[in-house]
Structure 1
Amino acid sequence: MLVLKGKSVNTGITIGPLALFHRNTISTAERKIEDVAAEIDRFQAAREAAIRQLQALYEKALAKVGEEQAAVFEVHQMMLEDDDYIDSIVGQIEEKQCNAEAAVENTAQQFATMFREMDDAYMQARAADVLDISRRVEQELCGGQGIDFSKYDEVIIAADDLAPSETMQLDTDKILGFITSGGSANSHTAILARTLGIAAIVNTGTQLHQDVDGLLAIVDGTTGTVYINPDAETLARMQQAQKEEKDRRKRLELVRGLPSATKDGKAVEIFANIGNPDNLPQVLANDAEGIGLFRSEFLYLGRTDYPTEEEQFEAYKKTVQALPGKKVVIRTLDIGADKKVDYFNLAEEENPALGMRAIRICLTRPELFKTQLRALCRASAFGKIAVMFPMIISVKEIRRAKELLQEVRQDLDRRRIAYDKDMEIGIMIETPAAAIMSDDLAKEVDFFSIGSNDLTQYTLAIDRQQTQLDSFFDAHHPAVLRLIGQTIANGHQAGIWVGICGELGADLSLTETFLRMGVDELSVSPQSVLPLRDTVRSLDLSK
């Protein structure tokens, strides 16, 4: 029996035969060519074919996982249209009089090396993207015979890593799971797997070979463990655990529609986090009581210019109308840090996570901010919207944001356009500064929502996307929990409600801790709603 440990992408247990992922061999060996112009035309034709393929993948992903996750394929198309990338390949064909395959491969490796050497974790992750798009072009140059994805049926796939395009081309309804020796739990592929509900373990650090192809494998997403060719005792134990997991899922259906309250009567609202209106069916299917974090930046990503007020208004209106009577907390623009948008023309920064992002952009570009605020106010006439400002660190910032909101309201009043005059205003608590100052900040708003992901990152001074630091990263660190407890206490002291919308909200080992702190709302991914409600209903805080 071979036991591997990695990073779990999804909880749950799956058992089935292992299938090594085979990519077709592509020859990129350099050779001299006679007709330079014809070779450049051959490259351009392959590049355009690759762009068409990526557009088809985008449309498939859009229908299956929504706009936020599909955006990676728009990014890949943009990379294939990048002038620096194209000029490098064309330049090599001209200067070296070499074949297009070699020029593409050389450029891919140069760009990938450049990305890997950058300090920013987001940019480091782009190395995999440039290699993925380049392989697609090379495949087209070599005849277009791609991977036979149809043969992966009812198997657990083992690979060095899977590109997002490879994940989407698999028939995900037939794949039992996958394990990769590399990759990250925050990669595009991992996020796609999580969204699609595929059992997956990444970054095991062990490259598997032909001798394990076809062997029985177990993926334990609860512990991040993979068992290959398990002994009888391990197989029996994991089969029992899998049965218990299935029974647990059946039990979750019994809490559908029931109050999210402990045995001794402590009630908490369980909301969902979503990235765009395409996620609404998941919110409804998982019986969320509202939306605690609607990430509005999906409107700005994957395009070449700013969204109009009307585009934003329609998206917000569609969301609240789909959830009549339920609260929808919409976070204003949170671009920057790991979310790059070229047309914003933001200056290059040594450390983007500590730079121009979120509310800082909005307050320095007030007309951009007011366009979004007008759309939000107008949509509030059609449902229960609450607006939430991200990355707040001072009272001054809140007051300035509220001033801009008031200017928008006055303009709507003059134009006799309806909006909810009682719309709640809140802020995210994402930095130690905000948590420490939460007693003063609470006097300015109607609610707090604690963004535990960034709060943990900034408290521990560890980039949460930097996998080499995983052994140092502790989301349960006492300092983080103290800041959360302090924020809840200060919020209640001022008479406002306090929620948690980061990943810790779905951490069932902390549910009782948060309820004892007095948290009023927990906002989690849609699939985490019922497990969280089940846990809440099992607790008795009087003991």
Structure 2
Amino acid sequence: MKRVPESSSSRLCGIPLSPGIIVGTAYHVEPFTPSFYRLRISRVEVDQELRRFEEAVAQSRRQLTSIKQRLEAQIGRERSYIADVQLLILEDKRFRTEIEERIVRQLCSPERAIREAAEEWLSSFRSLQDPFFQERGSELKDVEERLLANLTEVNGKNGHLPEALILVAPEVTLSVLADYQLERIKGLVVTKAGAASHVTIIARSYQIPMVSGIENLTDQVHTGDTILVDGCEGVVYRNPSRRETRRYQSCVEKKQQTAATEDADTGPFTTIDGRAIHLYLNTETESEVDSGLRQGAEGVGLFRSEFMFVKNTATNLRASD
């Protein structure tokens, strides 16, 4: 095997989102850019185009249901609500009505109607101050792209992929994770992602190292590059030297050796001068409560009920169909 020259190694600094260290092969995820040439339709085409839109919705529903089932198997039923968020957007009556009205009244093609309606909603999400709701804009964008892909019959399947697959992209969505299969993804390096994004939540749950916030990422890292992702410090090495690789492998081994000792320490916890430290959980699922209590937490300090709301709302909608 040809040795990579030391000078070709580069260090990129970003934001750590999911801990862990991995060396693998970079694979670029290209942004979805649907090509459609029809912006307007004739009056006689309205019924036909409405049927095309409904078929795209039905296909998207089947795909998201399949993704939800895969997530249940891979990261647990409690966290599969992540797919429910997109199902809720897809089934939202107001969103669907706005698209249909553009087709019927303005004689827009379904592709144009979806793009315009989604852009209006995205503008509303961007104007919100709450980071949680801003992150939901990426879910809407993913639904938009799924609908357009199904309308334009884009094949999202991938060919041969490296075993130690590290996805490199401006932004990674739930659909991308599903297309590339979670069990094959060993690392994520993105330009844009937040701590509250669903992709970050999945990465942490599935113990996939993840780094965000690297500008001009796709100009600096190319498909086929060997990269080292340090999700603890937020650092990515492109074509790391043997010395850098050995140093990180040594760090991983030391962390593994100390993990058992740290897990065994369940409290009580005190400061050096003997003052008691009370630990409480920031949680969203019952399984996290069990894990936290085993590690010394005394109770729940913050329960994020919005996730339970999304999950139960989606369940009730499906039951009413």
TM category (shorter chain) comes to 0.7 to 0.9
- The equivalent of 1:11 in structure 2 is 19
Q: Would you say 1:94 and 2:101 are equivalent positions? A: no
- The equivalent of 2:6 in structure 1 is none
Does the aligned pair in 2 maintain the 1:21–1:158 contact within 8 Å?
Answer: yes
Task: Supply the AA of the counterpart residue of 1:237.
Answer: E
Q: Would you say 1:239 and 2:246 are equivalent positions? A: yes
Q: Deviations over 1:100-142 (max 9, x none)?
A: 1222122222221232123333332232121110111111112
Task: Supply the AA of the counterpart residue of 1:80.
Answer: L
- The equivalent of 2:139 in structure 1 is 129
Q: By how many angstroms is 1:258 displaced?
A: 5.6
Partner of 2:153, secondary structure, is coil
Does the aligned pair in 2 maintain the 1:61–1:70 contact within 8 Å?
Answer: yes
2:285 to 276, 288, 295: 276
1:142 to 137, 148, 152: 152
Q: Deviations over 1:508-536 (max 9, x none)?
A: xxxxxxxxxxxxxxxxxxxxxxxxxxxxx
CA distance in 2, matches of 1:178, 1:73: 19
2:187 to 173, 177, 189: 177
Does the aligned pair in 1 maintain the 2:87–2:314 contact within 8 Å?
Answer: no
Segments of 5+ residues of structure 1 without an aligned counterpart are 308-543
2:295 to 271, 288, 291: 288
Q: By how many angstroms is 1:170 displaced?
A: 3.2
- The equivalent of 1:524 in structure 2 is none
Q: Would you say 1:111 and 2:121 are equivalent positions? A: yes
CA distance in 2, matches of 1:306, 1:193: 24
Segments of 5+ residues of structure 2 without an aligned counterpart are 1-8, 317-321
Does the aligned pair in 2 maintain the 1:20–1:210 contact within 8 Å?
Answer: no
Q: Deviations over 1:187-233 (max 9, x none)?
A: 12111111111000012122404972211112122321112133x3x
| Superposition pairs of residues 156-305 of structure 1, within 5 angstroms | 156-209=166-219, 212-230=222-240, 232=241, 235-254=242-261, 256-257=263-264, 260=267, 274-279=283-288, 283=291, 287-289=294-296, 292-293=299-300, 295=303, 297=305, 298-304=307-313
What TM-score comes out, normalization by structure 1 length? 0.49
Report the aligned-residue RMSD: 3.4
Partner of 2:111, secondary structure, is helix
Does the aligned pair in 2 maintain the 1:4–1:226 contact within 8 Å?
Answer: yes
Task: Supply the AA of the counterpart residue of 2:195.
Answer: A
Does the aligned pair in 2 maintain the 1:42–1:141 contact within 8 Å?
Answer: yes
Q: Structure 1 residues 222, 113: CA separation in 2 closer, same or farther (over 3 Å shift)?
A: same
Q: By how many angstroms is 1:270 displaced?
A: 6.9
What TM-score comes out, normalization by structure 2 length? 0.80
CA distance in 2, matches of 1:291, 1:136: 43
> Which is greater in Rg?
1
Task: Supply the AA of the counterpart residue of 1:252.
Answer: A
2:36 to 22, 25, 28: 28
Higher relative contact order (CA 8 A, sep 6+): 2
Does the aligned pair in 2 maintain the 1:215–1:228 contact within 8 Å?
Answer: yes
Q: Structure 1 residues 95, 122: CA separation in 2 closer, same or farther (over 3 Å shift)?
A: same
- The equivalent of 2:5 in structure 1 is none
Does the aligned pair in 2 maintain the 1:271–1:292 contact within 8 Å?
Answer: yes
Partner of 1:64, secondary structure, is helix
Q: Deviations over 1:69-122 (max 9, x none)?
A: 322321211111222211221122223433212221222222212321233333
Does the aligned pair in 1 maintain the 2:229–2:236 contact within 8 Å?
Answer: yes
2:163 to 153, 156, 162: 153
Partner of 2:11, secondary structure, is strand
Identity, % of aligned pairs? 22
Q: Structure 1 residues 85, 197: CA separation in 2 closer, same or farther (over 3 Å shift)?
A: same
Does the aligned pair in 2 maintain the 1:274–1:295 contact within 8 Å?
Answer: yes
Does the aligned pair in 1 maintain the 2:268–2:296 contact within 8 Å?
Answer: no
Q: Structure 1 residues 256, 31: CA separation in 2 closer, same or farther (over 3 Å shift)?
A: closer
Does the aligned pair in 1 maintain the 2:16–2:211 contact within 8 Å?
Answer: yes
Does the aligned pair in 2 maintain the 1:7–1:201 contact within 8 Å?
Answer: yes
